[in-house]
Amino acid sequence: PEQWYGVTYREDRDFVKNAISRMKAYRLKELVKHFQLEGKFLKGIGHNSGHINDTFVIEVLNLEGRIKRYIFQRINTKIFNNPEKLMENIEKITTHIGKKVEALGGDPLRETLTIVKTLDGKNFYVDEDNEVWRMYHYIEGAKTYMKVEKPEHMYKTGKALGKFQKQLSDFPVEDLYDTLPNFHNTAMRFENFKRALENNRAGRVDLVRDEIQFILSREKDTRVLIDLLEKGKLPLRVTHNDTKFNNIMIDEATDEGIAVIDLDTVMGGLSLYDFGDSMRSGATTALEDEEDLSKVNFSMELFEEYTRGFLETAGDTLNKEELDHLAFSAKVITLEQAIRFLGDYLDGDIYYKISKENHNLIRARNQIKLVKDMEANMESMKDIVNKYR
């Protein structure tokens, strides 16, 4: 929402951000009372990683005197405008995955997200300001990383994503609500970008002519996957659609990727969207908003590790067109992300949360650098895929 407790969001971000966290920290205790917590509230800690929702870790003291944790989130309803359907999707797929985990003797509380319901049995709570909140059990003994720390992480998260896609491969895609229609329709993202250019809402077009040109000259790439989907050559599957490296929880003891989280965008999509987005965010030597482009390189080693893991668990479910386009998908999803970041910069930073000046532009340049690297390495990337398919 533009309006936070009477303060306009865009006036002074830092001031507003701090005010919001103070306000929320104060209110967390009241808010979580509406959920089926197993214990007494101790504290809530802000968790600043996503670009969309606000996340907190809640600690309670349970009856045995032990600390139990929960993930508590304010859903950004400006983007996810039907929280009821969104949460229904999440409930359906986590139940589906949970059953599979249980059948194999695993622990669903560790291997997928589990919704904590409200006292009246609902999947979310709407507060007096119309803010929407939801809660999950915290997955203990595992963590997420903003950046890959060792190549093994890539192999293991690749395996985890492949497994996730496989677990959902028998879930009927038509049973899922299309939370964000055309989310990865890169051609449509390109059209929106052209509109942002024409509108020039923030008056920034002249500042970024080179970046704009880079994107405009790659129009053809933006249509490849969507055309193959429309022709029926690429199958519509249940996919995650936001497989950033930090959306896979890694076991602290074994480094295995144990659970895929942030399930807001799980809906019909292409397997390639998930593979490509993992490469964009994982097979890189820097964070997504690293400003010093000399530090931003696409890593062939990490690409290989992930591809090896992913094909090990999902390889046999993919068709020829999917396998043929794996390497390309890494490039096109990175290009799509550059389009989105630069588009948001041109619109005046209205979609992604930003925490510094030109944040979206910095992110866009970072993604463009990766696209360039991938273009230079495309043949070797295809060779790697061929080695493991």
Give residues in contact with ligand NDG (CB under 6 A).
51-52, 79, 242, 244, 265, 288, 337
Min dist. Cβ of residue 381 to ligand NDG (A): 20
Min dist. Cβ of residue 74 to ligand NDG (A): 14
| Dist CA 366 CA 280 (whole Å) | 10
Residue nearest ligand NDG, CB atom distance: 51
CA max distance for the chain: 62
Min dist. Cβ of residue 102 to ligand NDG (A): 29
Q: Which is nearer to ligand NDG, 244 or 369 (CB)?
A: 244
Min dist. Cβ of residue 47 to ligand NDG (A): 14
b/e 179-208 (16+ beta carbons within 10 angstroms → b): beeebbbbbebbebbeebbeeeeeebbeeb
Residues 6+ apart with CB under 8 A from 372: none
Q: Which is nearer to ligand NDG, 157 or 337 (CB)?
A: 337
- Round the CA-based radius of gyration of the chain to a whole number and report it: 21
Min dist. Cβ of residue 189 to ligand NDG (A): 10
Min dist. Cβ of residue 73 to ligand NDG (A): 13
Q: Which is nearer to ligand NDG, 55 or 317 (CB)?
A: 55
**Half-sphere exposure (CA, 13 Å, Cβ side) for 157?**
34
Q: Which is nearer to ligand NDG, 165 or 337 (CB)?
A: 337
| Dist CA 322 CA 4 (whole Å) | 44
Min dist. Cβ of residue 363 to ligand NDG (A): 7
Min dist. Cβ of residue 281 to ligand NDG (A): 7
Q: Would you call 46 helix, strand, or coil by DSSP?
A: strand
Min dist. Cβ of residue 76 to ligand NDG (A): 8
User: Counting Cβ atoms within 10 Å, is residue 135 exposed (0-12), middle (13-18) or buried (19+)?
Assistant: buried
Q: Which is nearer to ligand NDG, 118 or 281 (CB)?
A: 281
Q: Which is nearer to ligand NDG, 242 or 322 (CB)?
A: 242
Q: Which is nearer to ligand NDG, 285 or 317 (CB)?
A: 285
Q: Which is nearer to ligand NDG, 186 or 337 (CB)?
A: 337
Distances (CA, A) of 161 to 65, 102, 153, 280, 305: 36, 18, 12, 14, 13
Q: Which is nearer to ligand NDG, 39 or 282 (CB)?
A: 282
Residues 6+ apart with CB under 8 A from 283: 148, 154, 298, 299, 300, 302, 303, 306, 330
Task: Tokens 């005010």: give the residue.
Answer: 19
| Dist CA 283 CA 234 (whole Å) | 24
**Residue in 51, 86, 76 with CA at minimum distance from that of residue 133:** 76
